[in-house]
Amino acid sequence: MLYKSTRDPSGARYTSAEVVKRGIADDGGLYLPESIPTLAKDEIDKLRHVPYHERAAHILTKFLTDYSFEELLDDCRAAYRHESFPSGPAPLARLDDRLFSLELWHGPTAAFKDMALQLMPRLLTRALKKTGERRAAHILVATSGDTGKAALEGFRDIDQTRITVFYPENGVSLVQKLQMATQTGGNVDVCAVRGNFDDCQNGVKQLFSDSELALELDRRGAFLSSANSINWGRLVPQVVYYVSLYCELQNCGALRAGDRFCVCVPTGNFGNILAAYIAGLMGVPIKKLICASNLNNVLTDFLRTGRYERNRTFHKTMSPSMDILISSNLERLLYYIAGADKTREYTAKLAKTGSYLIAGEEKDKISESFIGYFADETETTAAIQDIFKKYGYLCDTHTAVAFSCAEKYRRETGDRSIIAVVSTASPYKFA
């Protein structure tokens, strides 16, 4: 399986090891596989009865064809071991017959970023070997709080790597700040930035496209790479838990094979929900992807009107990991919907004017799969209380945004399908 850049219509292709190593394409685009492999029904039946790390290796081997199945199995076993995920990597909580919570925060840093970042450094180390790379990979990370800690924890003291994390000084929770500031390890650096997450992300993207910096680093035996969800190596492990979710919904008797269900994802950079979209393309019968935003509802507006408009007030909310106005991974969806030429046009417009408009068939295609809602601060607080009163279930602020949006979806559409809310952080992380 080879990969291409979302902004390159020329047909240049890259191997999976190359893509994991480089993180972002030279033209500023994001890597995507040439085609999406599918999962047959009997494959899913088999996956239902194996542990999570085997499910993971089985999915990954379809995308990362430079890696042997045994290598992937070893890495997944190590990444998702019991010491790191004492309650299992992706347990499913049943609130009632039609409402579930997929808990992705049982890893070392108490947020769902661990699902990818416990594995990705292992994939990168192998990629360096496979591509004959002798330079050190210097990982740059822009974080709204959770990626930073999870990446530091994943990369600490990993051979041939260094990591620098940039976080918005006043844009993360106290727990998140302390987690990052107290990081141990010989190859780690953390910088607080005066600005918000988008400033951090834009700064990092600028460094990636600075050719003089690249030359200087090369002279010193290093190159830059990314651990944000712009890196395919970070995104593909996230596809796994949507396949696993489908297995678990069948295992607990809530669904029969082929029955469709909805997922509701608290969204910031659009990585997590894009992974769900890809799981859908592989054959997981997802009926609707409910994109849940907080007051920074740029995606809600985009999915409803077709206009992406980042020129708007930036809100600091109680769900800081979703305080984002430029959702990088939307570029991958644009590519699927509109192709490389149009994607380049839209992303150039976004960089220049802060907005772009899609319409007609492109908009219809997106609406077939996605629907957007947002919850304000009052609704988020109310959702925490409602879910606790109704089910005795405690959720964090990000997950609460999703519960609130799932409820709005039910009310607005009358759809009675099963909804799995994706729970992205431990309630104790955002007290």
Ligand X SMILES: *Cc1c(COP(=O)(O)O)cnc(C)c1O
Q: Exactly one of 8, 146, 153, 331 binds ligand X (CB under 6 A); which one?
A: 146
Please give the structure tokens belonging to residue 129: 């070997």
In the complex, the smallest distance separating the C-beta of residue 328 from ligand X, rounded to whole angstroms, is 8
Query: In this complex, which beta carbon is closest to ligand X, that of residue 203 or of residue 222?
Result: 203
Q: Give whichever of 272 and 404 is closer to ligand X, judged by the CB atom.
A: 272
Distance, in Å, from the CA atom of 102 to the CA atom of 58, rounded to the nearest integer, reads: 20
Among residue numbers 113 through 132, which ones bind ligand X (CB under 6 A)? 113
Residue 278 vs 425, nearer CB to ligand X: 425
Q: Footprint of ligand X on residues 155-214 (CB under 6 A)?
A: none
Beta carbon of residue 238, minimum distance to ligand X (angstroms, whole number): 8
Length of the chain measured in residues: 431
Minimum distance of ligand X from residue 249's CB (angstroms): 22
**Does 272 interact with ligand X (rule: CB under 6 A)?**
yes
28 φψ region: left (φ > 0), alpha (ψ -120 to 50), beta (else): left
Determine the interface stretch with ligand X among 54-62, 263-271, 356-364, 369-377 (rule: CB under 6 A): 263-271
CA–CA gap between residue 113 and residue 149 (Å, rounded): 9
Shortest distance, CB of residue 318 to ligand X, whole angstroms? 11
What is the rounded distance in angstroms from the CA atom of residue 365 to the CA atom of residue 289?
13
Return the structure tokens found at 393: 């279930």
Q: For ligand X, give the closer residue by CB, 71 or 146.
A: 146
What tokens does 215 get?
């030359």
Note whether 343 binds ligand X by CB under 6 A: no
- Closer residue to ligand X in complex, CB, 46/315: 315
Rounded CA gap, 200 and 49, in Å?
Answer: 42
Rank residues 267 and 300 by Cβ distance to ligand X and give the closer one: 267
Cα–Cα distances in Å, from 302 out to 86, 276, 370, 393? Answer: 39, 18, 11, 32
Minimum distance of ligand X from residue 113's CB (angstroms): 6
- Do 334 and 356 form a contact (C-beta atoms < 8 A)? no
Does 5 contact ligand X by CB under 6 A? no
- How is residue 108 annotated by DSSP? T
- The verdict on 318 binding ligand X (CB under 6 A) reads no
Q: Tell me how far apart the alpha carbons of residues 420 and 402 are, in angstroms, rounded to a whole number.
A: 10
Q: Give the Cβ contact number of residue 317 at 10 Å.
A: 20
b/e burial code for range 304-315 (CB count within 10 A of at least 16 → b): eebebbbeeebe
Sign of the Cα torsion 315, 173, 392, 268 reads: positive
The amino acid sitting at 11 is G
Q: Which stretch binds ligand X (CB under 6 A): 48-56, 132-140, 246-254, 267-275?
A: 267-275
Does residue number 322 form part of the binding site for ligand X (CB under 6 A)?
yes
Choices 83-91, 154-162, 256-264, 266-274; region in contact with ligand X by CB under 6 A: 266-274
The residue within the footprint of ligand X, chosen from 118, 179, 244, 267 (CB under 6 A), is 267
With tokens 């199995």, the residue in question is 73
Q: Does 111 bind ligand X (CB under 6 A)?
A: yes
Is residue 379 close enough to count as binding ligand X by CB under 6 A? no
Among 33, 237, 271, 427, binds ligand X (CB under 6 A): 271
Binding site for ligand X (CB under 6 A): 111, 113, 146, 229, 266-272, 321-322, 398, 424-425
